[in-house]
Amino acid sequence: MLSILSSVWRWRRLVWELARRDFKARYAGSALGVAWAVLEPLVQFALYLTVFSYFLGMRLEGRPGVGLFGLYLISGLVPFLAFQESVMRATGLARERAQLVRHVNVPLEVVLAGALTAVLARHGVALVLVMGVAAGFGTFAPAGVPWLLAGLVVLVIAVFGLGLALMIGGAFLPDLTQVVGTVTTILFFATPIVYPVSAVPRRVAEWLMLNPLWGGLHCFRVALLGEPPDVKSFALAAASALVAFAIGVLVFKLRRHQVPDLL
């Protein structure tokens, strides 16, 4: 575990360069370039706030845990989409970067760290915008910022650990990308993102609270919406992230040497 982290630190300049190129490549060829990193989420958030708060969201206004529904929605979407894109990107990364992996002596964990840094940076821009929107609507709670930071740490640990395992798995199983896409779609609807916990039957809600994604996601809403923290859910999310990291390291250490031959 420490050897992987120390390797990423030793190659931190390359990690940064890979992330920078990946970030710019997403908007390459467009007239506005990286400005789309701000404009794209701004347009999406404006649509969510308008459509879901003033039209569809009216049915849920007033329920416990739901204020302005559009803001409730995007405060959950941002961390979930960061998680979803990270694990999807990690799954196909070895094959996407086959030339780099086969012909250049760059550790696989460094390639993964660069790709995930770019993904999290894009969603970090969206998070800053959501914080501004929450402040504008008066729901931002400065006292919840430590919880938001804790949620970020849990998210990074989870996606890097899962990424280590999925990067190796994707090299062995090309269809794993489709499997991960299906699983994350199921997780999306099994996590209170587009609905509050209070909107589902109590027995179902008890099972939903065992979803580790909920504990990490709720940390963001503590700061963005002023919701009360849930220590038990956070502890479950943190423990799950550490387990995912440990399993990811184990899979990575056992199979990493076979990846160049597979590609």
Residue 167's pLDDT is what?
A: 93
Say whether pLDDT at 101 is over 60. Answer: yes
Residue 151's pLDDT is what?
A: 94
CA separation for the pair 70, 58 (Å, rounded): 10
Helical pair 36-54 and 108-137, crossing angle rounded to 10 deg: 50
Beta carbons within 10 angstroms of residue 141's beta carbon? 18
Q: 113 vs 5, 61, 126, 179, 196, CA distance in Å?
A: 10, 40, 20, 22, 34
Per the structure, the count of domains in the chain is 1
Give pLDDT tens digits for 1-34: 778 888 888 888 888 888 888 877 776 556 556 6
CA separation for the pair 26, 35 (Å, rounded): 11
Which two three-digit tokens encode residue 102? 């086969």
Q: What is the pTM of this model?
A: 0.86
* Percent of all residues in the chain with a pLDDT value above 70, rounded to a whole number: 84
User: Bigger pLDDT: 131 or 105?
Assistant: 131
∠ at Cα 159 (155, 162), nearest 5°?
140
Domain that holds residue 76: 2-262
What mean pLDDT do residues 97-122 have? Answer: 85
Residue 73: pLDDT band (50, 70, 90) is confident
Residue 34's pLDDT is what?
A: 61
- Given a contact cutoff of 8 angstroms between Cβ atoms, the answer to whether 249 and 162 are in contact is no
| Mean pLDDT score of the chain | 83
